[in-house]
């Protein structure tokens, strides 16, 4: 059950990144906001997600 929550979280992050790219391509968000979102997700994936996987939320 907990593994399903983690998988849902990862899939939602991937969906967020796809929407972020689409908004950037359509010029709805600017370059700075695009990179801030990318960096935020990267830090989350590098720092927080491994800890959540160890704890199995």
Give the tokens for residue 16.
């967020």
The reported pLDDT for the residue numbered 3 is: 79
Mean pLDDT by 10 residues, the chain (57 residues): 82 96 96 97 92 72
The reported pLDDT for the residue numbered 14 is: 96
The reported pLDDT for the residue numbered 57 is: 52
Q: Which domain holds residue 42?
A: 2-55
- The tally of domains found in the chain comes to 1
The reported pLDDT for the residue numbered 1 is: 53
The CB density around residue 13, as the number of other CB atoms within 10 Å, is: 14
Quote the CA–CA distance of 41 and 25 in Å, as a whole number: 18
């Amino acid at each position: 059950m907990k593994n399903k929550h983690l998988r849902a979280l990862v899939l939602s992050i991937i969906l967020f990144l796809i929407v972020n790219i689409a908004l950037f391509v359509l010029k709805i968000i600017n370059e700075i906001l695009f990179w801030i979102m990318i960096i935020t997700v990267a830090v989350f994936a590098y720092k927080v997600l491994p800890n959540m996987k160890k704890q199995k939320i």
